[in-house]
Amino acid sequence: MRDILKANVSRRAVLGAGVAGASLLAMPAVLRAQDKSLKVGVYGGYFKDSFDKNIFADFTKETGIAVESVAEPTGEAWLVQLEQAARAGQAPADVSMMSQVAMLKGQSTELWSPLDMAKIPNGSNLIDHFVNKYPDGRVAGIGAVAWYITLVTNTNVYPEAPTSWAALWDPANADKLGLLALVSNSFLLEVTAKTHFGGTNALDTEEGQVKAFEKLAEVKPNVRLWYRDEAQFEQSLKSGEIPMGQYYHDVTGLAAKDGQPVRSTFPKEGGIMDSGCWALSRASQKTEEAHTFINYMCQPQIQAILSRKVGTAPTVKRDLLDLSAEEFAAVSSDIEPIIPRYDLYTTKADWLNQKWTEMIAG
């Protein structure tokens, strides 16, 4: 995990790096010996390297299915490529790790082959909200990994940890905050709804969304930086120049272990949990191998390896894991999380972006 920090970029940044030029065959010696194979798309850079090293090799040993790992870009670029390829009957990857918004957009074109849960018995280990379904109940994807955005502080400036997201609105924190710059990656509307309006259901209506925007606008005097460059905020947090904000729990914890004066706090309203799903392209001819792979990934011991080696939060139930309390706290929390309203970012994206620019970060 320390390698993540030493790379001086967060996982999300690393994910976008892309290493398409790197070898696509993670285990060539193994591949030559395999009759069965599966192409798996994972975010490039650290993620792909970690999966190659810690997951795919053991999967091949256990199942006899060779994995060709494919470095995929973040955002929706990979979704576009998969869509175009599927129309031509091709699958750049059989199974891909997809963001939640990309999952929903892929559903609209039936890009994802429905998964047969009878072939994924380990799916019963999953926390319920990690099963992504089509509106008619067919399973479109299975939670692969998760990560948290939490309330972070510089311990020199804040000797006592804050306990609530309400700290963002505290006048005592004027000009001290660093917050993510986009409505669709900060999830601050959801934070506002959970903190001030009883939960994210308050965002069900446009009236509720406007109220959340108006309340969130009250934090503007406290914000010094709306950041797109995660490394910029991380450095400012470490130095105390911007001593409070929202950031990724895993890399903040790694910085603290490295002796930096920073802490990550799960507020009483919960950290923001974001995640990626395994999804099977409709163009894939590797349905059986894909189900075997997804079932393998749903094992508690595999999720534990991911937490220890990759720094991701598990998608299976806490009581099934052998993670120590310290290991679990390094990547997750028992506090009920804030789940982003991904549906809004597919159905009202333009309107939300416009309001965000007008009222918040413009």
User: At 323, is the pLDDT very low, low, confident or very high (cuts 50, 70, 90)?
Assistant: very high
18's torsion region: left (phi>0), alpha (psi -120 to 50) or beta?
left
Mean pLDDT of all residues in 311-330: 94
Tokens of 90: 């091709």
What DSSP element (H or E) covers 302? helix 300-309
Confidence band of 44 (pLDDT split at 50, 70, 90): confident
Report the distance separating Cα 105 and Cα 103, nearest Å.
Answer: 6
Compute the average pLDDT of residues 313-324.
Answer: 96
What are the Cα distances from residue 264, in Å, to 40, 118, 150, 243, 332? 32, 39, 6, 12, 11
In angstroms, the CA 11 to CA 16 distance is 9
User: Taking all residues of the chain, what is their mean pLDDT, rounded to a whole number?
Assistant: 89
What is the pLDDT at residue 190? 98
Q: Is the pLDDT score of 9 beyond 70?
A: no
**Dist. CA 156–CA 47, nearest whole Å:** 32
pLDDT of 184-217, one tens digit each?
Answer: 889 999 999 999 999 999 999 999 999 999 999 9
- Percent of the chain at pLDDT exceeding 90: 79
The pLDDT value given to residue 83: 97
